[in-house]
Amino acid sequence: MKKFLYRHGLILFLLVMFGRGLLGMLAVKGVHLYNPTLTIEKDLGWVIMLIYAACAILAVKWVKIDKEIGLTMPTSAKDWYVWIPTLIIPVTLAFYLGNNSSWGHVPFLLIAAVGVAVNEEIVFRGILLRAILPFGKTVAIIVPSVLFGAVHLGNILVGGDVTYALFQFGWASLAGMALTIMVLVNKSLLPAIAFHFVLDAVEYAGIGAYGIHSAEYPLEWLTIFFLLNLAFFSYSLYLLKKSKTKSQKVNFMLHL
């Protein structure tokens, strides 16, 4: 079974997606047997995100692709600090949202942010990216990222604002492509996980909930965040091109 899943990454991706969803649903059903008033948005999001993250980690550890997909430290500190300009996105988000969470709720929001970052980066920029890379880097950058954006449309089904969800699909797809490039350039998932955590931690603290936006947001701010993610994607393309140029120079020197 391990060898089969090692060779068929798309099936592993589907199994993890289905398995984590099933376990998350069962966990919510179990909690609701004792207290049906608790909601995913306000109370149980951190539990579900921890379940999702645990499923992703256990799956890649079991199939033994954890190091192969980049669950290792980057080779140098530069692989971290070249991405510092992209922190303008969570900084802008913090400026707009502020903090609407009680101090007692913050630890649970941070746990949820860690769970989301670990889960989504392993699943989309790890398992799925590894499965699609044989089709070429361009396909591997675009396809998982658009799928990643489409997954966020599911928030509409649990009470999320439709306009926000549509914009979220756009910027999640752009950010997904940027994060995929970040993984390819750094050969590590950790910087992508760190950025994803910071972004979600700011967002969750700002709305006081686990990422489901039931309120309407001004169109100008939605547009600003879309443009920021477009800039993030453009910057990642620049770094990808720069890394290719550097690699070509190294190869040229080796052949002299």
List, for residues 38-87, the tens digit of each pLDDT value: 887 778 889 999 999 999 999 999 999 999 999 999 888 888 999 999 99
In this structure, what token pair is assigned to residue 166?
């549509």
Over residues 230-236, mean pLDDT: 96
Please say if the pLDDT value at position 138 is more than 80: yes
Looking at residues 210-231, what average pLDDT do you find?
A: 83
Q: Which two tokens stand for residue 159?
A: 């009470």
More confidently predicted of 245 and 100: 100
- Which one, of 166, 150, 167, 145, lies nearest residue 233 by Cα? 145
pLDDT value at 256 more than 50: no
More confident residue, 215 or 3: 3
Q: Which two tokens stand for residue 96?
A: 């707009």
Q: Quote the tokens at residue 19.
A: 């398995």
User: By the 8 A CB rule, do 214 and 161 touch?
Assistant: yes
239 band by pLDDT with thresholds 50, 70 and 90: very high
Q: What is the pLDDT of residue 215?
A: 62
Residue 21 is classified by DSSP as H
Share of the chain above pLDDT 90, in %: 61
Question: How confident is the model over 154-166, as pLDDT tens digits?
Answer: 777 766 778 888 8
Containing domain of residue 221, as a range?
2-254
pLDDT of residue 175: 95
User: How many domains does the chain divide into?
Assistant: 1
The answer to whether the CB of 159 falls within 8 A of the CB of 212 is: yes
Where do the H-state alpha helices sit in 75-218?
A: 78-81, 88-97, 106-122, 129-132, 137-151, 162-186, 190-207
Instruction: Please report which confidence band the pLDDT of residue 111 belongs to, taking 50, 70 and 90 as the band edges.
Output: very high
* pLDDT tops 80 at residue 168: yes
Tokens of 197: 């955590």
| Range scoring the smallest mean pLDDT among 19-28, 216-225, 227-236 | 216-225
Average of per-residue pLDDT values in the chain = 88
pLDDT: which is higher, 130 or 243: 130
Please state the pTM of the whole predicted model: 0.90
- Given a cut of 50, whether residue 249 has pLDDT beyond it is no
